[in-house]
Chains A and B, each alone.
Chain A
Amino acid sequence: MSDLLAARSQMGVSLAFHIIFAVAGIAMPVMMVVAEHRWQVTGHAIYLDLAKRWSKGTAILFAVGAVSGTVLSFELGLLWPEFMRFAGPIIGMPFSLEGFAFFTEAIFLGIYLYGWDRIPPRAHLAAGGIVALSGAASGVFVVIANAWMNAPTGFELVQGQAVNVDPLAAMANPAALPQALHMTLAAYAATGFAVAGIHALLLLKDPANAFHRRALAVALIVGAPAAVLQPISGDLSARHLARHQPVKLAAAEALFQTQAGAPLTLGGWPDVDRRETRFAIDIPAGLSLLAFHDPGAVVKGLDAAPRDEWPNVPAVHLAFQLMVALGSYLALIALWAGWRAWRGADLAHDRWLLRAIVLAAPMGFIAVEAGWMVTELGRQPWVIYGVLKTADSVTPMPGLIVPFLTFTLLYCFLGAIVVWLLYRQILRSPEIPEWRGFYMPGGGSRERGDAA
């Protein structure tokens, strides 16, 4: 394994690990605040228990997210010093703002977790709200920095040096809005469906359990709208790519030749040597339609870039297909659940819907990882698109396979423990007899309203 590959692998593992906790850290506080708000309004102890369990989950996930995020901020320099030397003055700004947002999040999470008995209920709820807002803000700032790597603006390149630096123009890069929107929605959809799926599984075993019924409802309130909106944001991203990062789009769609009326390629295996995609289903003019909203539009293929500037086409194409497929599934399930709830059905007794939601539980997170692979692998061989190659920014330090393996082992170990703790702390059914069977089938309208 070359040092460059080891460095890329370490960065990839660190990001893939951290993103799970970052995503959960953005959405879990929303669920915990919704539950606490329901408790303050209805006075029902189930909501308090939910809020407390979710806040424990948030505490565990946030702590691991905070330390793995620290690792990433150092790794930028430990692995990619030349990238940071170049990019620091240009995109340090969103990182600094993220520092403040993250600081606010940490402060108010401390207040929320430990302040149940120390501050008035309204202040406590407000603290939770600030955690949710600042969590989303820190995610947005980090994604803006990443967006700049894909669509660098705010400087001029003169003999390899950045001059006329404008950090605000760098923040306003064209990829910032599509990426930030897509990532934020993904966080709510992935986390909402993961939690909903777990409670759906428990409801399949125990449909009368009032605790899981309410948990499912709150999780869907957070996850379902985001899942429905995500394809629209995906369309925005695709149109951005077509204009600003054509090579990434071409790799994602396995489009080898630049052409008018480009087809949409579903599935298949891109054969890079023969420059064709085998076993795929082509929808004529589909890609032109999606990328430019015009069936006759010219879409740039991989042939628009020299061969040595292509990313790993099969990996990007497969990751992209996976993301789109999983995201579409989540959107359909969200629509189904919304339609059923709107019709006044009791979701907890709709066994086919519950099964579909159980199946959706891991999908959001897999889609997040796949989408991140599209963004990062699709930009290669560049670390800053068209400006700086990844290979030119890696540290000269030899033996990088050692830290790669060390951090990989560390993260495997931590991941296993977190799963075990979450299972034990928040997923076990509460054993409070009166909450079992609290719900009577065909019961009052309040129950039905709760399930919406």
Chain B
Amino acid sequence: MSLADLLAVVIFATLNAYAVLAGADFGGGVWALLAGGPRKQRQGELIAHAIGPVWEANHVWLILAIVLLFTGFPAAFARLGIVLHIPLSLVLIGIVLRGSAFTFWRYGGDTDAEQRHWGVTFAVASLITPVLLGVTVGAIASGAVSGPRAPGPAFFTGYVAPWLTPFALSVGVFALVAFAFLAAVYLTLEAEDRELQEDFRRRALGAGVALFGAALLVLALSGVGAGAPRVRAGLIFAPWAAPLHLLAGVAAVVALAALWRRRYGAARIAAACQVSLILWGWGLSQYPYILPPDLTVAGAAAPAVTLRLVLGALALGAVVLLPSLYYLFRVFKSRTPVAPPTMPPARPR
């Protein structure tokens, strides 16, 4: 494995962490939007309580992926910035609104009306951002992020057509459903009481089934029109395809079975594995291309000295980062009895 391949794997692992951690934070926003029934208020509080301490740390996985991408694969970063300018800008607006609205929701608002206003902004931004993230992934997978563009004419073909395709949109829907599924599964573990747990168990089961539907839609659209021939071929014919599908399928079935039998700890692991395996399936299917159809991992890579230094910094950084992350999640996500949730925090008056 070359240095460039190794860094590509690390970046992909970073994106994987972003998907299963920050993805669930977005999914939490979706469930806040869909909160309903007799426990509507408590659902919202549970979601805010679950996301609060971790969403910023989870969000940094994306920043890390971006800086590693522009350091290690500057040609790919430059091309993404040009061709996917519009969806990436929209992702940014979603990220800005989601993060600030969540904070304002927690720390703002003396009145219920204000609180609701920020809660809704947070939830809507949480709904739109995953779709747009999925669309950018779909555009990359379909091989539309290609070649240098002539300046000037052909705005639509140059800057809109690459991502406004049925396939890319279907990946957007898939990302949304996957994040919602993850969030619902995690929330069954966060819930302190049985009723809330049942609420999110039902939602997780529903989202899990919907995820199969969304996957079938992506697969079907990958063959329609321009589609995503390379990913499609990879996912069906590559030698690693069958075992990977098998594993992802097993993870999916285990997740649903565990939810059904109320084994929430097992469901969490299985759901995270399922989403991760799907992501790696995408990554493997387009290897050796970082941006199909023409830009390879090796072709986009920075000079070896940069790759070596960045990988060294990553190793050093991991020594600081991993124990810190472990501590964060141990403090807030372990199932030890805790002080009663403080949502919203008490304000001195």
Contact = CB atoms under 8 A, between A and B. Distances in A.
Interface of A: 49, 52-53, 56, 59-60, 62-64, 66-71, 73-79, 81-82, 84-90, 92-93, 95-100, 102-104, 106-111, 113-115, 117-119, 165-168, 395-399, 403, 406-407, 410, 414, 417, 421, 424-425, 430-432
Contacts of A90: 306
A69 B305 CA distance: 27
7 contacts: A71-B95, A81-B79, A84-B81, A89-B302, A107-B324, A168-B309, A410-B96
Contacts of B57: 103, 106-107, 110
B225 interface: no
Contact of A398 (B70, B106, B155): B155
A88 B349 contact: no
Interface of B: 52-54, 56-57, 59-60, 62-64, 66-68, 70-75, 77-82, 85, 88-89, 91-93, 95-100, 102-104, 106-108, 110, 149-152, 155, 158-159, 302-303, 305-306, 309-310, 313-314, 317, 320-321, 324-325, 327-328, 331-332, 338-339, 345, 347-349
B26 to A, nearest CB: 14
A424 B348 CA distance: 11
A384 B320 CA distance: 33
Contacts of A431: 348-349
B151 A396 contact: yes
A89 B71 contact: yes
A96 B216 CA distance: 38
Contacts of B328: 107-108, 110-111
A89 B81 CA distance: 16
Contacts of A77: 70, 77-78, 80-81
Nearest to A119: B331
Contacts, number: 237
Contact of B309 (A93, A106, A421): A93
Contact of B103 (A60, A79, A106, A432): A60
B70 A88 contact: yes
A92 B150 CA distance: 27
Main secondary structure of the interface of B (DSSP, over half): helix
A85 B78 contact: yes
Given A107-B324, A107-B328, A167-B306, A99 B96 contact: no
Interface of A is mostly: helix
B71 A417 contact: no
Given A74-B92, A102-B60, A424-B110, A88 B332 contact: no
Nearest to B66: A73
A100 B110 CA distance: 36
A104 B63 contact: no
A67 to B, nearest CB: 4
Contacts of A76: 70, 81
Given A78-B85, A110-B53, A115 B159 contact: no
Contacts of A396: 82, 149-152
A168 B305 CA distance: 10
Contact of B56 (A82, A109, A399): A109
A123 to B, nearest CB: 9
Nearest to B151: A396
A63 B303 CA distance: 35
A81 B81 contact: yes
Nearest to B96: A67
B62 A70 contact: yes
B325 A93 contact: no
A395 B82 contact: yes
A425 B107 contact: yes
B144 to A, nearest CB: 15
B310 to A, nearest CB: 6
A90 B306 CA distance: 7
Contacts of B68: 92, 96, 99
Given A71-B92, A96-B313, A118-B331, A104 B320 contact: yes
A62 B53 CA distance: 13
Contact of A165 (B100, B155, B303, B345): B303
A63 B102 contact: yes
B61 to A, nearest CB: 8
A66 to B, nearest CB: 6
